[in-house]
């Protein structure tokens, strides 16, 4: 229903040459333009005799409708590049249905970023006393990495990577943001540090500090 076929050609037409195809296409476009124009005039004449109670144009051909009555639609046909790191910061909690088999195997991970889906994580990845004391971890931030998301499931599946710490504190929150965006914040290796000049004074002199604006 979201595709309108304006013209259709058989591959056998290619045997008659490219010129024949171009002429045929040109003729069909002219016919389509004339047909649309005539319908537009007819619709315009009809609108004159309509009462003021009409809310808008009522035509069968959507090409005759004004832009404000149209809703553009599209379909994703290919994922060119996966930009998201598949890592998210959030909280873990027990599933609501305690009698289900899933309750014995998985916990629910709720991301802080609501654009990321909720994730089933194995209980084996959770702290050992999480099932008996879930309230202890209600404000504890965790990093989860999404591994899969099946078409017939409302929730993705993933693995808990690490515990960050208490929510609201600067260090856990900062580490969570850096991990989500794939920023490598580990210390520089000795090989990298050896590339720097070794005989420079890596301290700003008092005279240089006096000429600078301190933004620390």
82-136 tens-digit pLDDT = 888 899 999 999 998 888 889 989 999 999 999 999 999 999 999 999 999 999 9
Question: Topology of 87-181 in CATH?
Answer: OB fold (Dihydrolipoamide Acetyltransferase, E2P) (2.40.50)
Q: What pLDDT is stored for residue 14 in this prediction? A: 47
For every residue of the chain, DSSP letters joined together read ----------GGGGGG-HHHHHHHHHHHHHHHHHHHHHHHHHHHHHHHTS-TT--S---S-GGGS-GGG--------------S-SEEEEEEE--S-TTSHHHHHEEEEEESSTTSPPEEEEGGGS-TTTTT-GGGGTTEEEEEEEEE--TT-SSEEEEEEEEEEETT-HHHHHHHHHHHTT---SPPPHHHHHTS-SSS--S--HHHHHTS----
Would you say the pTM of this structure is higher than 0.85?
no
Categorize the per-residue pLDDT at 212 as very low, low, confident or very high, splitting at 50, 70 and 90.
Answer: very high
- Where exactly are the structural domains of the chain? 87-181
Mind listing the pLDDT tens digit for each residue in 48-84? 444 445 555 566 787 788 888 888 889 999 989 888 8
Percent of the chain's residues with pLDDT above 90: 44
């Amino acid at each position: 229903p979201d595709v309108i076929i304006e013209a259709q050609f058989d591959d056998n037409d290619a045997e008659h040459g490219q010129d024949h195809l171009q002429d045929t296409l040109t003729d069909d476009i002219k016919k389509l333009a004339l047909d649309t124009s005539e319908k537009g005039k007819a619709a315009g004449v009809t609108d004159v005799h309509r009462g003021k109670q009409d809310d808008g144009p009522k035509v069968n051909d959507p090409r005759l409708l004004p832009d404000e009555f149209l809703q553009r639609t599209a379909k994703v046909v290919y994922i060119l590049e996966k930009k998201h790191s598949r890592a998210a910061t959030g909280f873990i909690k027990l599933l609501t249905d305690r009698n289900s088999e899933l309750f014995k195997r998985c916990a629910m991970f709720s991301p802080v970023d609501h654009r990321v889906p909720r994730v089933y994580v194995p209980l084996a990845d959770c702290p050992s006393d999480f099932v008996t004391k879930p309230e202890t971890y209600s404000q504890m931030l965790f990093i989860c990495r999404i591994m899969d998301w099946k078409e017939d499931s409302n929730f993705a599946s993933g693995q808990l990577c690490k515990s960050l710490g208490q929510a609201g504190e600067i260090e856990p929150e900062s580490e969570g943001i850096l991990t989500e965006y794939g920023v490598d914040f580990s210390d520089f290796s000795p090989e990298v540090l050896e590339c720097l000049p070794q005989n420079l004074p890596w301290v700003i002199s008092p005279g240089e500090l006096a000429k600078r604006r301190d933004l620390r």
